[in-house]
Amino acid sequence: MPVEASKAPPTKRKPRKLKRLSRRDVLVLSLMVGIPTLVELLLVWGPTLLSIALSFTRWNGLDLSDLKPAGVENYQFIAQDYPPFWPAVGHNLLWLLFLGVIGTPLGLLLAVLLDQKIKGSRIYQSIFFAPVMLSMALIGIIWQLFYNRDSGLLNFLLGTAGTPQAIDWFGDSNVNIWAAMVAATWRHAGYVMILYLAGLKGVDGTLREAAALDGANARQTFFRVVFPAMRPVNIIIVVITIIESLRAFDVVWVINQGKNGLELLSALVIQNLVGEGQVIGVGSALAVILLVISLVPIVWYLVRTFRKENNA
Amino acid sequence: MKHSSFAGSAPDLARRSLLKGVGLGAVALAGVPFLAACGGSGGSTDSKSLTFGSGSSDDVPKRAYEAVMAAFKTKSGDSVTANVVPHNDFQNKINNYLQGSPDDAFTWFAGYRMQYYAQKGLLAPVDDVWEKIGGNFSDALKKASTGADGKKYLVPNYNYPWGFFYRKSLWEQKGYTAPKTFDELKTLCAKMQKDGLIPIGFADKDGWPAMGTFDYLNMRLNGFQFHQDLCAHKESWDQKKVSDVFDTWKALLPYQDPAALGQTWQDAAKALEAKKTGMYLLGSFVTQQFTDPKVLADIEFLPFPEVAMEGQEAVEAPIDGLLLSKKGGQNQAARDFVEFIGTPEGQNAYYKVDTSNLPTAKGADISGFTPLSKKLSETIASAKNISQFFDRDALPAMASNVMIPALQSFIKDGSVDVKNLESQAKALYAAQ
């Protein structure tokens, strides 16, 4: 049906197109649109608006009668008196930089390497993609094996295991953020790799041939022809990298619940919203801040996508 | 990772809706107490069974509660269904737990932590139970079991003092003697360091163990009452008395295990067992980690030395026990169960398995006490004041959101901003 509809000249016949829908079509359509909309309203917009409302209150999360208006006090508190906040913002930025400069290019590199017709490329693909599918708990255990101060592989390789010089990868606040980012990259790169592999397969082979005929070497072919041709994938990857750095959470939570040098905005939200130390107002305000920050890349992405559709 | 596979389509929404869902859930659940209040007061039912929520998930205490339940079943014929939840999870979810569908009886703590939920109407008072078992308990325990409204909410099971634990054989071999004062402690630490030991075992990856050191230094410097008032935020954090605590602590920092921030209390217990550390400041539950009976017999206890005032009179000895949820208050079997834990019989059943904690009821069988247990219980008995623990005497948000990061950064670089502590305390206590 949609195919048929799009074939019709868009301007003149529009009203008639609507008439062509039978009553059953209308019913099916409204159910298909209505149910997801309702779910979205209930699970996404409702809680989002509630959070925004709660961020302007003081509440212990127990009794509704304890709910008091607080104006912008929670935001003031976060910006001025809440020591983990600014480190968390810094760490999120660092995370973005790290993924952008190391994690994502690494994924691209893996994809390009695996795209060459090397033997067993399927096996390598699976190996690199496996971390993306592992659970948070498993990742914590795996990296513990590398990073443990007394019995970890890294200190063993460095020859410092069991000595006072052993590096406490998770406990030393100067290094644990780097350790966590390496662990995050381990997953992120596999994810980016799969997307780029798909992108590379989609690049028209004749483009490469044409470039080769023009005398371009492999590197020139890739950077001047193939990479620009993957523009849609590139945009998705940029957005994903930004979002991954904003929602970075699981690795640090497994290590130490986002304390002692591993403060991240998402971890602070959970610390304030869940558990005995529940301060709903502050937690909601942190969530709103995170929401506003995440909206920037999402809006940018949507605007780009829709503008392109309009032009097309 | 589940949410990563969604990331292509709606990456951020999946997690955010989860977070918001938490908020929504809290709002929805907040209505529950009202409903419960409307439908309640139906009088006791003749149920012969109850559910028991337990945060005692570690092996030893878990088996100990199993023994209690078995003994209770033999005695009363009532059956108990236990829901054991990992210790930290149980604590973290207590807000939602109590507002959702809690078990009839559950494990919890004395102090502000209990009073807070009692005040919010989420617990059932157990005064009738206390009428029967009250004679078993000292006044200090009675006070600790009482809410702000004067009603009793807790039946104590056990408590455990905090102090320095060390290996006798190591001290004998090196010729160390127990320090009575802070100066003697520092001298001893210096000697241990010279002998190649880490003088004081220390672990603060989880954030709470360092509170024990803070509590003791604060009590020994400023007195028990000041400590309680500070915890309740009747005293300001932004004053010399508080910064003095941290200044005094600075003298100990070089002697405490520098790896503290990366290890858990279990790791530090291992180091004590391996004679890598000279002593270890923790609660007596530390002895649960020493599974080798030879090592266990070699463990000795030393109360925290005096610093400036009150000598060694105040002891940090948190009390754990059982509470009834609002719903459980109407279940006679649940009342009988918490009563049972307040009798020598019930506590004996517990202590037989878990000897790291001390029974609180008079008349409990202490003939099986090891010399260590005897010393621990004498320390508590001779104490003039018993504190709970920072996270039990203070507002939960203050303990977990403010103190943990503050203490961890103090351990890192020896600096602390008491002005900021005060402004955070002001904001958080006002929100309650």
What 3-state class would DSSP assign to A166?
coil
Q: What is the pLDDT of residue B44?
A: 43
CA distance B325 to chain A (A): 15
Which residue in A54, A80, A276 is closest to B91 by CB distance?
A: A276
**With an 8 Å Cβ cutoff, is B14 touching chain A?**
no
Residue B93: its pLDDT value, please?
Answer: 86
B 382-401 residues inside an 8 A Cβ radius of A: 396-401
Across A69-91, average pLDDT = 93
**Average pLDDT over chain A, rounded to an integer:** 86
C-alpha–C-alpha distance, residues B12 and B3, integer Å: 9
Is residue A136 over pLDDT 80?
A: no
Contact B325, B107 (CB under 8 A): no
For residues B79 and B28, is the Cβ–Cβ distance under 8 A?
A: no
pLDDT band at B156 (very low <50, low <70, confident <90, very high): very high
Whether residue B408 has pLDDT greater than 60 = yes
Domains of chain A: 43-81+279-312 (no CATH), 91-263 (1.10.3720.10)
pLDDT at residue A304 above 90? no
* Under 8 Å between Cβ of B155 and B126: yes
Are A277 and B397 contacting, i.e. CB atoms less than 8 angstroms apart? yes
Torsion-angle region of residue B47: left (phi > 0), alpha (psi -120 to 50) or beta? beta
The string of pLDDT tens digits covering residues B223-254 is: 999 999 999 899 999 999 999 999 999 999 99
CB pair distance less than 8 Å for B428 and A260: no
Which amino acid, B299? I
Looking at residues A119-146, what average pLDDT do you find? 85
A249 and A264 Cβ atoms separated by less than 8 Å: yes
- Yes or no, beta carbons of A243 and B17 under 8 Å apart: no
Q: Which of B95, B260, B405 sits opposite A278 (nearest CB)?
A: B95
What is the least distance, in Å, from the CA of B17 to any CA of chain A? Answer: 5
Identical topology for domains B49-160+319-363 and B162-316+393-430: yes
β-pairing verdict for B277-283 and B198-201: parallel
- What class does CATH assign to B49-160+319-363? alpha beta
Residue of chain A with shortest Cα separation from B28: A64
Question: Mean pLDDT over residues A118-129, rounded?
Answer: 87
Q: Is the confidence at residue B9, as pLDDT, over 80?
A: no
Q: Is the pLDDT reported for residue B16 higher than 70?
A: no
Residue entry with tokens 């023009």: A214
Contact indicator for A262, A176 with CB cutoff of 8 Å: yes
- pLDDT for A28 equals 93
Report the mean per-residue pLDDT for chain B. 87
Per-residue model confidence (pLDDT) at position B37: 40
Q: How far apart are CA A54 and CA B96, in angstroms?
A: 17
- What's the rounded Cα separation, in Å, for the pair A153 and A291? 38
Q: What is the mean pLDDT of residues B63-79?
A: 93
Tokens at A55, concatenated = 């961020």
Task: Report CB contact under 8 Å: A149, B33.
Answer: no
- pLDDT single digits (tens) B168-186: 999 999 999 999 999 999 9
> Measured between alpha carbons, how far is B427 from B432 in angstroms, rounded to an integer?
9
What pLDDT does B29 receive?
43
- B17, A43 Cβ separation under 8 angstroms: yes
Residue A15 has what pLDDT?
53
In Å, how far are A92, A95, A244, A273, B254 from A251, measured between CA atoms?
A: 13, 12, 12, 19, 31
Which of A104, A143, A177, A260 best probes binding to B when mutated, by most B CB atoms within 10 angstroms? A260
pLDDT at residue B161 above 90? yes
Q: Inform me whether the pLDDT recorded for B202 exceeds 50.
A: yes
Greatest mean pLDDT among A107-111, A149-153, A212-216 lies in A107-111
pLDDT at B2: 32
Task: Give the per-residue pLDDT at A276.
Answer: 76
Nearest CB neighbour to B432, from listed A60, A82, A139? A60
Q: What is the pLDDT of residue A6?
A: 47
**A148 within 8 A of A158, measured Cβ to Cβ:** no
CA A285 to the chain's CA centroid: 21
Torsion of CA A253, A258, A259, A260, to 10 degrees: 100
Single out the residue of B13, B271, B307 nearest to residue B166, CA to CA.
Answer: B271
Answer whether A197's CB lies under 8 Å from A115's CB: yes
The confidence score (pLDDT) of residue B20 equals 44
CA angle B416, B419, B423 (to 5 degrees): 120
Domains of chain B, residue spans: 49-160+319-363, 162-316+393-430
Q: Which of A282-291, B9-18, B132-141 has the highest mean pLDDT?
A: A282-291
Range among A59-63, B191-195, B289-293, B378-382 with highest mean pLDDT value:
B191-195
What pLDDT, on the 0 to 100 scale, is given for residue A161?
76
Per-residue pLDDT at B323: 95
> What was the pLDDT predicted at A4?
47
List phi, psi (to 5°) of A235: -65, -45
Nearest chain A Cα distance for residue B295, angstroms: 22
Query: Each residue of A242-282: pLDDT tens digit?
Result: 988 988 888 888 888 889 899 999 999 999 988 777 889 99
pLDDT at B43 over 70: no
- Chain B hits for A290, CB-CB cut-off 8 Å, are 16
Which of the residue ranges B15-24, B208-217, B291-300 would you say has the lowest mean pLDDT? B15-24
> Among the residues of B312-403, which ranges form H helices?
332-341, 344-353, 371-381, 390-393, 396-397
Q: With pLDDT > 90 as the criterion, what percentage of chain B qualifies?
A: 66
pLDDT average, residue stretch B13-32: 43
Minimal-distance CA residue of chain B relative to A284: B23
Which class is B162-316+393-430 in CATH? alpha beta
Higher pLDDT, B250 or A139: B250
CB contact under 8 A, A83 and B23: no
B123 is written with which tokens?
Answer: 């617990």
- pLDDT band for position A1 (50/70/90)? very low
- Which tens digit of pLDDT belongs to each residue from B359-382? 999 888 888 888 999 999 888 888
Closest of B86, B334, B254, B290 to residue B168, by C-alpha: B290
Q: Which helix (H) or strand (E) holds A268?
A: helix A265-273
Crossing angle of helices A265-273 and A280-311, rounded to 10°: 140
Q: Tokens 């809690």 — which residue? A: B102
CB count within 10 Å of CB B213 equals: 23
Name the residue among A149, A278, A287 with its Cβ closest to that of B19.
A287
Report the pLDDT value the prediction gives residue A16, as an integer from 0 to 100: 52
CB pairs under 8 A between A and B: 178
Q: Which of residues 306-335 of B touch A (CB under 8 A)?
A: none
User: Does the structure show a pLDDT above 70 at A93?
Assistant: yes
Average pLDDT over residues B178-201: 96
B164 close to B302: Cβ distance less than 8 angstroms: yes
* Confidence label for A312 from pLDDT (cuts 50, 70 and 90): low
Distance between first and last Cα of chain A: 22
CA distances from B326 to A70, B154, B318 (A): 31, 13, 24
Backbone angles phi, psi at B84, to 5 degrees: -95, 125
CA distance B77 to chain A (A): 35
Amino acid B288: pLDDT: 87
CA B336 to chain CA centroid, Å, is: 25
Q: How far apart are CA A59 and CA A67, in angstroms?
A: 5
Burial of A98 (0-12, 13-18, 19+ CB in 10 A): buried
Give start and end residues of each alpha helix (H) in B55-93: 59-76, 87-92
Cβ atoms A108, A196 nearer than 8 A: yes
pLDDT number for residue A267: 93
Of the partner residues A58, A136, A269, the one whose CB lies closest to the CB of residue B19: A269
What is the C-alpha to C-alpha distance for residues B307 and B303, in angstroms, rounded to an integer? 12
Give residue for tokens 């020139």: A220
List the beta bridge partners of residue B124.
B324
Give A18's pLDDT tier (boundaries 50, 70, 90): low
Q: Are residues B205 and B326 in contact, defined by beta-carbon separation less than 8 angstroms? A: no
- pLDDT for A57: 92
Looking at residue B325, its pLDDT comes to 95
Closest alpha carbon within chain A to B421: A81
The candidate with the shortest Cα–Cα distance to A235, out of B256, B8, B419, is B8
* Contact indicator for A76, B426 with CB cutoff of 8 Å: no
Write down the ipTM of this complex. 0.80
